[in-house]
Amino acid sequence: MRLNVFLQQAGVGSRREAERLVEQGRIKVNGALAVATTPVEEGDQVTFDGAAISPAKRDLPRVFLLNKPLDVLVTTRDHKGRAMVFDLPAFQKPGLPRLMTVGRLDVNSEGLLVLSDDGGLAQAMMSPANALERHYRVRIRGRFDARQLAELARGVTIDGLRYRGAQFEEEEDKGGRSNSWYRVVLTEGKNREIRRLVQHFGGVVNRLIRTKYGPFDLGDLESGEMREVPPRAVTRLIETLASKSGAETP
């Protein structure tokens, strides 16, 4: 764990305050004066002005990865009686906590959906300020030219709404088709963002698959399958978000 994250969780102060205490020589790890890059491992003794400190004990958030199938809604209720992700067999397993989704995928999209039992962590992952990358494979009827790709990378405004720069990279051209596959990277994830960007330039999305969200990959998850993220990876995520925001993340 990064020392400044450890100190935040121990209630010493904000990240910047913790860094100042380290610079002042008031923090020791295993009896040695700490520097900003000193790591803290499980079992290490950390002292502040000679007094032992430790992070507040709390249950580590749980994070799950789901391969969302096509034509399934990401919602907890639907008055039309349509299929919803929480009705999938993966959610009927005993022992699952109450989960909330990290962002959404629309009914016509598929692929990686991240879920957590911790609302603060979910909000931090979705926050535009943390700019976690979302990766997609997108099939489009049509094709972008070089000027349009450059404009997408700079960011565009559609109907008064500003969209951050998005990276569109065409996959190998198979030739002789009306459809093109692109690999797309976003850092914001507004509602139906990719579809609106494509439509803005005269194309139509006819398949959209999310393959990555932040540090998590779809990997070999089958459609409808859900898998829990190992605790060590959850801890790394929390540390990364804390370092981005400069504030404690659950």
Catalytic residues: 106
Tokens for 58? 């709390």
Helix extents (H) in the chain: 3-9, 15-23, 119-126, 146-154, 193-200, 231-245
Provide the strand spans (E) within 71-197: 100-102, 110-116, 134-141, 156-158, 161-163, 167-170, 179-186
CB distance 56 to 10 below 8 Å? yes
d(CA 205, CA 179): 9
Contact 114, 108 (CB under 8 A): no
Taking the alpha carbons at both ends of the chain, their separation in whole angstroms is 14
CA distance 85 to 77: 10
- Residue 48 tokens, joined: 């502040």
